[in-house]
């Protein structure tokens, strides 16, 4: 068979799905550690003011605007090797990204001058996130469309990617609090030396996962390298003339704002409103297992029958309805609220599970319209948009708490507690409805359109053989 379409290799199967799962498992060993514990490490262990740490994260998002798109262009203009176009980057960059992550948590520098610690933090964080993580995450995310041209196969890859991320979240979220803290004067405090060991262990785990991803997956669709000269004008045209890309970007930003606001309110509503830290500990476990056991198995089957856009809208509306009922019922029992939260999270999980497959649908749609395939460019633009959503969500919870007058001194006042409950319920309602509206009125790729695009591209590739 000619090497211009789909190569004559073993058929798509469980090996590819497991391998792709390990890719995001590896990603999140360093990403989840950074997003969950880097702030407290640098404030509590290194003594760096939280304002400076927050500034670093904001600066990194601006740097990402250039590195994400640059990496996307590098991929699109590079020639495929015997291992494919995307997989080689996973093998090349797994070591650098793991080492850079480990260097962030060098607690032995805690006694150094503040200027040294700030420079060290900026350099290592930017090397990890904006350079090395980008150089492995953009190819990894773009790779799904090369593993299989089949839309249902890509949905399964998206599902397994979500499973990998959920498993990493469970490992990081469970192991780090148990092993990285020590008791001092009766209070749990983060240990710098233990955090150093944990970061090293997670970096090793990340490399193992990346190598499993490289060895278990196969790129079947050979995508020729772009030859035309890069132009920022062309890039902006790609973004602003693609309704499908604009739609998935807006929907993903709404998804992140909703999901991160929900989790961001948990440290306030459970201990301060319900006075129940046990339920706070259980919420991450319940939502993760709800995703793994219900949303992940159902999403591919429902998508194949009804469409990814369709089930994402339905799941979002279910989530909005559940939180609205919870607000109106106003349960005084933390476990009842936890039940509403978990069911709503499963509804959101349907969209979160298939969103990565929807990106490959967008890539297909752009190729159908333009005749040019731009996996790296489109995925990098989408990745940067997600980072904007993450950055925005970081300040949203604080802003909402400021509106209700929350401080350490007022946290148990009735008016503030009522405000906490209102935010925890109504903010997700607004977010879920926003997701559904964007998907319904902006994002154009329903099941019929996706299936038709796949047929068009299959016919084009058959003509080239």
- Please check the confidence at residue 233 and state whether its pLDDT lies above 70: no
> How distant is the alpha carbon of residue 332 from its chain centre?
33
The mean of the pLDDT values for the chain is 86
> How distant is the alpha carbon of residue 77 from its chain centre?
25
For the residues 94-122, what does the mean pLDDT come to?
Answer: 95
Give the pLDDT band (50/70/90) at residue 236.
low
For the residues 19-40, what does the mean pLDDT come to?
Answer: 88
Angle, vertex CA 400, rays to CA 330 and CA 176, nearest 5: 85
Give the pLDDT band (50/70/90) at residue 7.
very low
Helix axes 334-370, 151-179, angle to 10 degrees: 140
For the residues 392-402, what does the mean pLDDT come to?
Answer: 72
* Collapsed DSSP state (helix, strand, coil) of residue 221: strand
Decide which of 426 and 463 is more confident.
426
Whether the CB-CB separation of 423 and 265 falls below 8 Å is answered with yes
Q: What is the pLDDT of residues 11-23, one digit of tens each?
A: 899 999 999 999 9
- Quick one: pLDDT at residue 82? 86
Helix axes 296-306, 334-370, angle to 10 degrees: 40
Q: Which of 102-106, 155-159, 174-178, 226-230 has the lowest mean pLDDT?
A: 226-230
For the residues 78-82, what does the mean pLDDT come to?
Answer: 83
- Quick one: pLDDT at residue 4? 41
Using alpha carbons, list the distances in angstroms from residue 337 to 267, 282, 357, 428.
14, 12, 32, 13
- Please check the confidence at residue 232 and state whether its pLDDT lies above 90: no
Whether the CB-CB separation of 313 and 348 falls below 8 Å is answered with no
- Quick one: pLDDT at residue 399? 76
Give the pLDDT band (50/70/90) at residue 8.
low
Q: What is the pLDDT of residues 307-345, one digit of tens each?
A: 999 999 999 999 999 999 999 999 999 999 999 999 999
- Quick one: pLDDT at residue 242? 85
Whether the CB-CB separation of 113 and 46 falls below 8 Å is answered with no
Residue showing tokens 């298939």: 354
Residue showing tokens 């805690």: 110
410: DSSP letter: T
CA 128, CA 340: separation in Å to the nearest integer?
37
CA atoms within 13 A on the CB side of 411: 12
Whether the CB-CB separation of 433 and 320 falls below 8 Å is answered with yes
81: DSSP letter: B
* Collapsed DSSP state (helix, strand, coil) of residue 136: helix
- Please check the confidence at residue 5 and state whether its pLDDT lies above 60: no
Q: What is the pLDDT of residues 83-107, one digit of tens each?
A: 888 999 999 999 999 999 999 999 9
- Please check the confidence at residue 1 and state whether its pLDDT lies above 50: no
- Quick one: pLDDT at residue 2? 37
CA 123, CA 113: separation in Å to the nearest integer?
16
- Please check the confidence at residue 154 and state whether its pLDDT lies above 60: yes
For the residues 293-306, what does the mean pLDDT come to?
Answer: 92
CA 376, CA 388: separation in Å to the nearest integer?
18
Whether the CB-CB separation of 443 and 244 falls below 8 Å is answered with yes
- Please check the confidence at residue 76 and state whether its pLDDT lies above 90: no
For the residues 163-186, what does the mean pLDDT come to?
Answer: 80
End-to-end CA distance of the chain: 8
CA 90, CA 87: separation in Å to the nearest integer?
5
- Quick one: pLDDT at residue 441? 97
- Quick one: pLDDT at residue 105? 96
- Quick one: pLDDT at residue 356? 84
Q: What is the dihedral of CA 445, 451, 452, 458, to 10 degrees?
A: 130
For the residues 287-315, what does the mean pLDDT come to?
Answer: 92
Q: What is the pLDDT of residues 440-465, one digit of tens each?
A: 999 999 999 999 998 998 888 777 76
CA 442, CA 423: separation in Å to the nearest integer?
27
Read off the tokens for 264. 């961001």
Read off the tokens for 412. 């148990």
For the residues 69-81, what does the mean pLDDT come to?
Answer: 83
CA 415, CA 404: separation in Å to the nearest integer?
8
Burial track 418-449 (b if 16+ CB lie within 10 A, e otherwise): ebbbebbbebbbebbbbbbbbbbeebebbbeb
Closest of 392, 159, 361, 380 to residue 254, by C-alpha: 392
Read off the tokens for 365. 């749609």
């Amino acid at each position: 068979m000619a090497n211009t379409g789909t190569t004559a290799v073993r058929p798509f199967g469980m090996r590819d799905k497991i391998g792709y799962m390990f890719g995001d498992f590896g990603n999140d060993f360093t990403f989840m550690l950074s997003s969950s514990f880097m702030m407290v490490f640098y404030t509590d262990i290194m003594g760096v003011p939280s304002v400076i740490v927050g500034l670093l994260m904001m600066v990194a998002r601006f740097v990402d605007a250039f590195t994400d798109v640059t990496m996307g262009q590098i991929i699109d203009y590079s020639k495929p090797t015997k291992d494919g176009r995307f997989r080689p980057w996973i093998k090349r960059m797994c070591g650098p990204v793991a080492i850079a992550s480990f260097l962030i948590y060098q607690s032995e520098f805690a006694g150094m001058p503040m200027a040294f610690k700030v420079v060290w933090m900026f350099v290592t964080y930017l090397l990890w996130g904006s350079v090395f993580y980008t150089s492995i995450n953009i190819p990894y995310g773009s790779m799904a469309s090369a593993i299989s041209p089949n839309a249902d196969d890509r949905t399964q890859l998206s599902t397994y990617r979500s499973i990998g991320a959920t498993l990493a979240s469970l490992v990081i979220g469970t192991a780090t609090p148990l092993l990285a803290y020590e008791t001092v004067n009766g209070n749990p405090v983060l240990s710098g030396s233990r955090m150093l060991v944990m970061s090293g262990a997670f970096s090793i785990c990340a490399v193992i996962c990346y190598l499993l991803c490289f060895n278990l997956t196969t790129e079947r669709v050979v995508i020729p390298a772009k030859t035309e000269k890069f132009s920022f004008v062309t890039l902006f045209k790609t973004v602003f003339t693609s309704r499908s890309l604009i739609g998935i970007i807006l929907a993903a930003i709404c998804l992140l704002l909703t999901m991160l606001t929900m989790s961001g309110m948990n440290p306030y509503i459970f201990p301060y409103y319900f006075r129940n830290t046990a339920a706070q500990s259980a919420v991450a476990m319940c939502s993760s297992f709800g995703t793994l056991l219900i949303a992940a198995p159902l999403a591919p089957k429902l998508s194949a029958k009804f469409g990814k856009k369709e089930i994402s809208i339905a799941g979002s509306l279910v989530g909005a309805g559940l939180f609205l009922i919870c607000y109106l019922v106003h349960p005084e029992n933390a476990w009842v609220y936890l039940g509403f939260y978990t069911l709503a999270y499963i509804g959101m999980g349907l969209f979160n599970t298939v969103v990565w497959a929807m990106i490959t649908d967008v890539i297909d749609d752009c190729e159908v319209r333009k005749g040019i395939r731009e996996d790296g460019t489109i995925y990098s633009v989408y990745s940067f948009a997600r980072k904007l959503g993450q950055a925005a969500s970081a300040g949203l919870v604080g802003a909402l708490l400021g509106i209700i007058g929350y401080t350490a001194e007022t946290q148990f006042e009735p008016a503030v507690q009522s405000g906490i409950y209102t935010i925890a319920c109504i903010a997700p309602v607004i977010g879920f409805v926003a997701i559904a509206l964007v998907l319904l009125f902006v994002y154009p790729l329903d099941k019929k359109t996706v299936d038709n695009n796949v047929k068009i591209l299959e016919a084009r590739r058959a003509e080239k053989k």
